[in-house]
Amino acid sequence: MANKYPNKVYLNGEWLNADKAKVSVFDRGFMLGDGVYEVIPFYRGKPFLSSAHIRRLEYCLNEVSILLEQRFAWSEVIDEAIAQAGLTASDGAVYIQITRGAAPRTHYFPQNVLPTILIYAFELQLSGFEHRKAKVLVAKDLRWHRCDIKSTSLIANVQANEYAHGLAFDESILERNGIITEGTHTSFFCVRNGVVYTHPAGPHILPGITRDWVINMCFKLNIEIKEEALPINDLQEVDELFLTGTTAQILAVTEVMLADRSTITKRTGSITSKMQQAFIEEIENL
């Protein structure tokens, strides 16, 4: 996401210069990917949908049984991260990562270990997403069966995204048992005969915060929305495709390469444009 390192990071209760921040080589996040993370966007220094992001983070911590000793004033920490990065008038995101902590390597949970908490803010180009046209390809969904947990163990996502990147595509959309689940770091939507479809919430997709925003906006705009999975064989028949995500925001898909290397092309449709415009208006009113 970020193309350069931050100058300041929060590590276990302290704000430090990034080059002075040290984590144990025995940290379970480093050794085992035993941790969760969250990414919270901000526009002109103002966090967007931060309460929903924090609820998801707390859900993930609970699901993997990582307990924080103290209750965080998350809104204050997020604001401080933005200020420490000197981004109070900029667009960007706050990254939060919490691992189980440092302990001798075991496959069971260690006792009496303090979690490692890392937080920092970084600048991002978030404006202009409505003008981008995404190219995606279809890849097998080889991830585990708890994709609802925003785990730091992302090797399957990374491999699928690298496959797309290597072929000059923007994203891989993932197919599991003949249906499309989501992207490697985005949620997947399609529009067919004026109805918006997205994979139902559950263990095979991340409960995307921007995804939820789109679902709620469909209700507000009286656009029919169904949480139903799209069979891969029906891709040709849909009218519009778009992706959502914290940093992708709402991104129109205009080209899809299938597993047999055949290509489907789409145009940015009216519903995608409505979602993008409503999103922009909400950001402008922060």
The HSE-up count of residue 262 (CA atoms within 13 Å, CB side) is: 5
The pLDDT of residue 5 is 86
Instruction: Given the residues 150, 220, 226, 266, select the one marked as catalytic.
Output: 150
The pLDDT of residue 72 is 85
pTM for the model stands at: 0.96
Q: What is the mean pLDDT of each run of 10 residues along the chain (286 residues)?
A: 80 96 98 99 99 98 94 93 98 99 98 97 98 98 99 98 98 98 99 98 99 99 98 97 99 97 95 99 97
Check if 150 is active-site: yes
The pLDDT of residue 1 is 47
Structural domains of the chain in order of their starting residue, each with its CATH number: 8-123 (3.30.470.10), 129-284 (3.20.10.10)
Give the DSSP H/E element, type plus range, for residue 116: strand 116-123
C-alpha distances (whole Å) from 232 to each of 89, 134, 200, 268 are 43, 18, 15, 20
